[in-house]
Amino acid sequence: MVLGRVSAPHGIKGWVKVQPFTQEIEGLLDYPTWWLGGNGTWQPLTVAEAAVHGATVVARLEGCADREAAAGLKGREVAIPRSQLPAPGEGEFYWSDLIGAAVVNRQGEPLGQVVQLLDTGANSVMVVEGDRERLVPFIAGVILEVDIAARRVTVDWERDY
């Protein structure tokens, strides 16, 4: 399961900056091996060191010794085999399961796709990209239904919001 994406090198000693897709930023720190890749090609890399750095995670991965090697990882997805993750409870799901899901309002009008979820402190927010970017609060009353199987989120949100 994709839990983040390498966004940039961090410093000159091979560290990378990772944008996590987890509800809790530090969630990635629980896993000693990350699978990096995309497009069907994945490579396991051991996490030598990692820490929360603001809204991101910075990590030094074994075999990544300098800034050039770290820059080569930019854009790669960070994944953990789903079998290593705890099963979500009833009515729960992983944020990463929402990335790419279609978002429609109660009238069935398409608003776009979920590209990111943010935790603002007060509540979580879905970043929806469509004809324009929308920031939709992920709260009861706005989120009407999450259908993971259909990859669709139904919201009480008008097109002109």
DSSP string computed for 6-56: EEEEETTTTEEEEEE-SSSGGGGGG-SEEEEEETTEEEEEEEEEEEEETTE
Mean residue pLDDT across the chain: 93
pLDDT of residue 87: 86
pLDDT per residue as tens digits for the range 68-83: 999 999 999 999 998 8
* pLDDT recorded at residue 135: 97
Q: What pLDDT was estimated at residue 59?
A: 97
CATH ID of 98-155, from 2.70.180.20, 3.40.190.80, 2.30.30.240, 2.30.130.60: 2.30.30.240
For the segment 124-133, the average pLDDT, to the nearest whole number, is 96
Instruction: Say which residue, 149 or 103, is predicted with more confidence.
Output: 103
Please report, for the chain, the start and end positions of each structural domain, with discontinuous segments joined by +. 2-84, 98-155
d(CA 14, CA 142) in angstroms, rounded, equals 42
Note the CATH number of domain 2-84: 2.40.30.60
What the block records as the tokens of 95 is: 């944020």
* pLDDT tens by residue, 95-110: 878 999 999 999 999 9
pTM of the model: 0.64
Residue 118 predicted with pLDDT over 90 = no
Instruction: Look at residue 58 and tell me whether its pLDDT is greater than 90.
Output: yes
Q: What percent of the chain stands above pLDDT 90?
A: 75
